[in-house]
Amino acid sequence: MPTDVGLSDCIEVTQEQIPAPVANFTANPLSGCQTLTVNFTDLSSNSPVSWLWNFGDGTNSTEQNPVHIYSQPGIYTVSLQVSNASGTDTKIVEDMIYIGSTPVVEVNTIAASGSDVADGSASIEIIGGTQPFTISWSTGDNGESISGLLPGNYSVLVIDAVGCIVTTPFVIQFVSAINQSELAVKVYPNPANNHITIETSGLVETASLVNTLGQKVLEIVPQSERFEVNISGLSEGVYFLKLSINGNEYVAKLIKK
């Protein structure tokens, strides 16, 4: 049989090009208290071979799934740039990470009127942090104020909405029976309606009425060793009369009816 000379079979080989990547990622957790560790996970498609993360706080990473620590409070925008042989893509998530600041808790206390008298109280003022707050007292109570306290050592725990925790100890003092006897203070009538009379055996330097939250509701101007105070403008409830006499403090419970 005749044979064709110089002819050859040709095979065409086509190499499929990989599509350009599409950037995508997630992070966990998205909020918390300083210092917060965040795990970033690459979810990009089309097989990227390089990664460039920008965490929004001036730092970067070229790892595929980096772990980053945020040490300062703030709101951070995160971006991820991915690349392969066919191109580059970037995803930016605005305000992705929220880092809260630890609140400052100030405790205002009212002393008990005796060493074994449970009429001390305390209230807190929270500065900073992220609302709402969870407040737990060492007595097992909750809320911004507590009353019916014996003299002693206590603490209050505050946790804000992003998990910042602060514990603040405080002491409920008491006015000693000796000092009260020496001061010879009389407050009457008690309970009272519109007026009270205060009698002392010494010079009253300062005087005020505070509520059970420790807030001053009435500034009293002493006039002599015996003077009247108009309390008709106060709501019904329990108050504490605080007197400073000859360098000593006197605290008495007053009921307004």
CATH number of the domain enclosing 46: 2.60.40.10
- The per-residue DSSP string of 158-183 comes to EE-TT--EEEEEEEE-B--HHHHHHH
For 205-232, the DSSP string reads EEEEEE-TTS-EEEEE---SSEEEEE-T
Q: What is the CATH number of the domain that holds 162?
A: 2.60.40
Dist. CA 164–CA 68, nearest whole Å = 19
Of 228 and 184, the structure prediction assigns the larger pLDDT to 228
Q: Is 199 found in the same domain as 158?
A: no
**CA–CA separation, 101 and 31 (whole Å):** 11
What are the two backbone dihedrals, phi and then psi, of residue 177, each rounded to the nearest 5 degrees?
A: -60, -30
CB 196 within 8 Å of CB 187: yes
Residue 213's pLDDT is what? 63
* Domains identified in the chain, total number: 3
Residue 62 to residue 100: CA distance in whole angstroms = 27
Within a domain: residue 8? no
What CA–CA distance (Å, rounded) separates 162 from 102?
A: 10
pLDDT band for position 15 (50/70/90)? Answer: low
User: Which CATH number is 242's domain given?
Assistant: 2.60.40.3080
115 and 182 in a single domain? The answer is no
Judge if 212 and 154 occupy the same domain.
Answer: no
Same structural domain for residues 83 and 143?
A: no
Q: Higher confidence at residue 252 or residue 66?
A: 66
Residue with tokens 């911004």: 144
Residue ending a domain, among 100, 129, 149, is 100
Answer whether residue 80 is part of any domain: yes
Residue 216 pLDDT greater than 80, yes or no? yes
Maximal CA-CA distance, the chain:
143
- The average pLDDT across 167-189 equals 74
* Amino acid at the residue 11: I
Give the integer Cα–Cα distance in Å for 150 and 235: 26
**Is pLDDT above 80 for 207?**
yes
Is the predicted pLDDT of residue 142 greater than 50, yes or no? yes
The answer to whether the beta carbons of residues 33 and 164 sit under 8 Å apart is: yes
> So what's the pLDDT on residue 177?
47
Residue scoring higher pLDDT (176 or 141): 141
- What is the Cα 91 distance to its own chain's centre? 33
- Asked if residue 69 and residue 135 are part of one domain, the reply reads no
The pLDDT value given to residue 176: 59
* Domain shared by 81 and 117, yes or no: no
Whether omega for the bond prior to residue 189 falls within 30 degrees of 0, making it cis, is: yes
Confidence of residue 26 (pLDDT cuts 50, 70, 90): very high
If asked whether residues 181 and 252 sit together in one domain, one would say: yes
pLDDT at 181 over 70: no
Q: With left for phi above 0 and alpha for psi between -120 and 50, is residue 148 left, alpha or beta? A: left
Domain boundary among 153, 172, 191: 172
Of 7-11, 45-49, 128-132, least confident by mean pLDDT is 7-11
Most confident of 32-46, 175-189, 195-209, 226-240: 32-46
Look over the chain and give the mean of its residue pLDDT values, rounded to a whole number. Answer: 87
In contact, 83 and 54? CB cutoff 8 Å: no
| Residue 65: inside a domain | yes
Residue 18 placed within a domain:
no
**134 in a domain, yes or no?**
yes
Quote the pLDDT of residue 10. Answer: 55
Which two tokens mark 67?
């772990």
Which domain covers residue 75, as residue numbers?
25-100
pLDDT above 70: residue 184: no
